[in-house]
Amino acid sequence: METKGRSRHFIYTDWILTETQFDPDQLHSKETVFTIGNGYLGTRGSFEEGYPSALPTTFIHGVYDDVPVVYTELVNCPDWLPLVVMVNGERFRLDQGEILQYERRLNLRQGLLCRSVRWRSPSGKTIDFYFERFVSFADQHVLAQRCQLTPVDFDGVIEVQGSINGYTENQGFNHWVGLDQGKTDEGIWLQRRTRNSQIELGIAAKMTISGAEASLQVSTAPGYPTLSMTFLAKAQQTVTVEKFVTIFTSREVETPVAAAKEKLAYLPDYAKLLKASEQAWQEVWQQCDIVIEGDGTAAFAVRYNLFELLIASPQHDDKVSIPAKTLSGFGYRGHVFWDTEIFMLPFFLFTQPTIARNLLSYRWHTLPGAKRKASHYGYKGAMFSWESAATGDEVTPRWSLPTDFYGEDVRIWCRDREIHINADIPYAVWNYWQATGDDEWMEKYGAEIILDAAIFWSSRVEFNSESQKYEIRGVIGTDEYHEFVHNNTFTNRMVQWHLEKAMAVYDWLAHKYPQRTRELEDKLQLSSELQNHWQDIIAKILLFYDSSTELIEQFEGFFQLEDINLADYQDRDRSMQAILGIEKTNKYQVLKQPDVLMLLYLMRGYLDFPYSQKALQTNWDYYAPRTDITYGSSLGPAVHAILASHLNISTEAYKLFMQAAMVDLEDNRGNTADGIHGATAGGVWQAVIFGFGGIQFKENRPVANPHLPSNWTRLKFKLHWQGLWYDFDLCGEVGIGHRAWGDGETRGQGDKETRGITNAQSAIPNAQSPMPNPQSATPNSNIQGVIFDLDGVLTDTAELHYQAWQKLADEEGIPFNRVANEALRGVSRRASLMLIIGNRRYSEQQIQEMMERKNRYYVELLKNMTCEDLLPGAIALLDELRQAGIKIAIGSASKNARTVIERLGIADKVDAIADGYSVKQPKPAPDLFLYAAKLLGTEPAQSVVVEDAAAGIEAALAAGMWAVGIGPVERVGAAHVVLPSLAGVKWADIRSQLHNSKK
């Protein structure tokens, strides 16, 4: 389905954004929209050939520098894009000549940006251009471009100049000092260093050409090294020029230039680089993708927002975080806000927990800066900065310039007063711990964040002796229209919640890690007196709440402010603050973004005070009409959409959701040119999962209570929780069940994997093929498909299972060894645990916990699996089958099969995967192999199964398929052919033995 975006010349399909017309008035906003990246760097969608007033920009995580006196900002790095094309001496550029055809496409699935242009030069020569670029998702230091040129109606001389532009600026300020540059056998290189932070950068480039003979020249003009290729082009013949770039900084290596030159010298060709990048994207999308059916615009918009989060997320660096405008624009100067922890982090927490850990580790690394800020204001502990950069010190500008040339400068009070971030970050840390069970990280990093930030509150609160209450005065709440208030309920309740969790973390740490506890007690000056103070604050903090109506007052005196009817301003095109002015806005009951409602949203997951359905309805009715949801903050619509879903206000929920989802695609706030709205992108994911999907966590697992929009026929996604993956497949108004999977064990019927609500059917469809009659089912010689079992055939994960069980047994003090492990082969997880614990008595809750703990250990071990773990002969046989035109499937009972396949690097070598999700009946029932054959489109009699277990051989024979057994005859002797392993095995030999075997 295709849908057109209003006035943006956009077409949306499932994975591809297509721009059908170039509009110079939208140049800068489109540069933002077409940003590409890989979690290390982001490059805006500027044209290769340049354009007047364009803002070509590449940001690299952590490369900050100071603008003297004014602010700290992410630095615009040297531009790797320049590709100037001269056609018979005329320079190709879109502001000259004539554009006859134009199309630009962003492929989200591949991370690939393409542009096609048919251009007529001022002298009348017509030429087709096709540009393509990507930044490798497989290797963060590699970037590549391709330019294909096809003269339409002339022969002539064409010159292509590929350059590195070292003179990039941050809107008028140049942060770079030139150090050196040069040329090598491979191409050109440039060395730069930031003026104040002294970060060194090395970048290298080379070019290749095909389709024509070309002479190569190298120019080393200062700060702008260039490779030039000149060739004679002929009409209707295509010439391809490819440019390869490598880039490093001193944040990763000691000698960035040497690293860039070395990597450039050993790069494979363009096609291999692109394929590696596409495979890396495929792996990520398999975990992160959200499938929406029935609404093409929403389906694309959700994927687009997830793409923007993924390309800005640090995969290999825990000393950086995602800026509010990601790596896509100059807005907010690359500073990090609460946006990351509260809005963006949940997406990573439940789909990419390693990245979530990196983002939170950044806050640990910046604790020294937070402590310096607290000390500056006269407080104890850690006071996280409202805007943070490299060190964690406050980088919020103190003043903002007025829009009126003769107006007064505007004081920015957030740096001093918007302190709820000091509880927001611990909130995110706690949620990470709950979702992952990552005790090791919590011990080393998370606990210190929570405790040090809690110490700040003990010095920030004030005790009112008259009311016998603790107060927090002189703050800004999440609603930033009121800049100096007392006892903001959001802030006070979050502080109370934070201190409750700090007490729990302190107790947990003391019980489990006494040495670390002593270290933190010495470092942070923790004491029993401090804990008593925290407990007193928890009991006595001031909260404005009417228990009879459950209406919450946003802050002390809010209800005494002058009321306002936003309907009176229905035709406005700017914020209420812009209309009323800062001072007047402070006197009205008008909100920039959710405040009380934001608190209810954050507390809903814990069903903690003040969350209840009555409180939600009461406060929605009061605060939603008073919130400037359209022109206030981009953070608001997604949160309102979720709460509207919970209140079953479906039409309003969908309207708010689409307002958030399209914020950059439609530029509906007019500021997309400044960069992607990162918090909104994260809010969109939350709106889908927690709003429409209705995900809640009950009995330590996610369950769905869906509220799908009326036009959505299906919503499908995955969530990662406590080491398990949960699949959700929700259709229409009926919530279809979901299943958890986490390891590769075969499970018996007694080890039920279904979690939570199952209103209709299994999340993964079961094979519906009828059971064949083994007596009448006979294979034939026209073999079209081969189905491989995974464990014991292509790889061996038995050792990983043993290590996981051994770790669990050691922790529980239960004797266990490799001999005892032999009894667990082919046994379900629960049955295995029962064998291990023997006659020892455990509660059902303890048994469930131990099974999940063992599974987490196993999943962690899987992360170390690589292609080196393939058994001998596996790759050779897969490749030979592919060349012979034989279809290949994996038929594994493991619910972790897809993860193993990805780790082994063979996903591109198989056509279908049937795993533990696919069928209800395990081997020796034939269901799994019948389902695999169905996926391949082959008849059972035309299929071969390669198995190492007796149950698998029995299943293959019952399905009426050929069976090849791997292992001893005692185990797989019923197979048509028995082989000791796949080492040295040829497909022709298997075919011959099958032909000669007895039917």
The residues annotated as belonging to the active site are 480
What is the end-to-end Cα distance of the chain in Å, rounded? 50
- Return the closest-CA partner of residue 22 out of 91, 104, 111: 104
Residue 509, CA distances (Å) to 433, 443, 753 in order: 13, 7, 32
Q: Do residues 92 and 115 lie in contact, with contact meaning Cβ atoms separated by under 8 Å?
A: no
Alpha-carbon distance 195 to 178, whole Å? 10
- Taking each helix axis as running N to C, give the angle between helix 514-524 and helix 489-512, from 0 to 180 degrees, rounded to the nearest 10: 130
Contact between 664 and 32 (Cβ < 8 Å): yes
Buried b (16+ CB within 10 A) or exposed e, 72-85: bbbbbbbbbbbbbb
Q: Work out whether the CA dihedral 858, 864, 867, 871 comes out positive or negative.
A: negative
Alpha-carbon torsion (994, 995, 996, 999), positive or negative: positive
Q: How far apart are CA 31 and CA 146, in angstroms?
A: 19
The 3-class SS string of 574-613 reads: CCHHHHHCHHHHCCECCECCCCHHHHHHHHHCCCCCCCCH
Cα→Cα distances 200→223, 258, 963, Å? 15, 12, 60
Taking the C-alpha atoms of residue 671 and residue 748, their distance in angstroms, rounded to an integer, is 56
* Sign, CA torsion 628/630/631/637: positive
Contact (Cβ atoms closer than 8 angstroms) between residue 738 and residue 728: yes
Secondary structure in 3-state letters for 525-546: CCCHHHHHHHHHHHHHECCCEC
How far apart, in whole angstroms, are the C-alpha atoms of residue 326 and residue 739? 34
Cα 537 to Cα 740: distance, rounded to the nearest angstrom: 40
- Cα diameter, the chain: 97
Whole-number Cα distances in Å, 907 to 97, 680, 836, 884, 897: 47, 33, 35, 18, 11
Q: How far apart are CA 15 and CA 105, in angstroms?
A: 10
Spatial contact of 717 and 289, defined as CB atoms under 8 Å apart? yes
In what order do the strands lie in the sheet containing 738-741? Answer: 291-293, 714-721, 724-730, 738-741, 754-755
**What SS3 string covers 135-174?**
ECCCCCCEEEEEEEEEECCCCEEEEEEEECECCCCECCEC
Dig out the tokens for 15 from the structure.
Answer: 């994975």
Cα separation of 480 and 820, whole Å? 63
Closest Cα to residue 752, out of 855, 829, 700, 845?
Answer: 829
Distance from CA of residue 353 to its chain's centroid? Answer: 9
830 vs 972: CA distance, rounded Å: 26
Question: Where are the strands (E) in 356-468, listed by range?
Answer: 399-400, 410-411, 462-464
Q: Please give the Cα distance from 572 to 124 (Å, whole number).
A: 47
Is the peptide bond prior to 924 cis by the omega test (within 30 degrees of 0)? yes
Strands 142-151 and 239-249 come out as: antiparallel
Q: Alpha helices of 233-269 — where are they, by DSSP H? A: 256-265
- For residue 3, which of 588, 658, 560 has the smallest C-alpha distance? 658
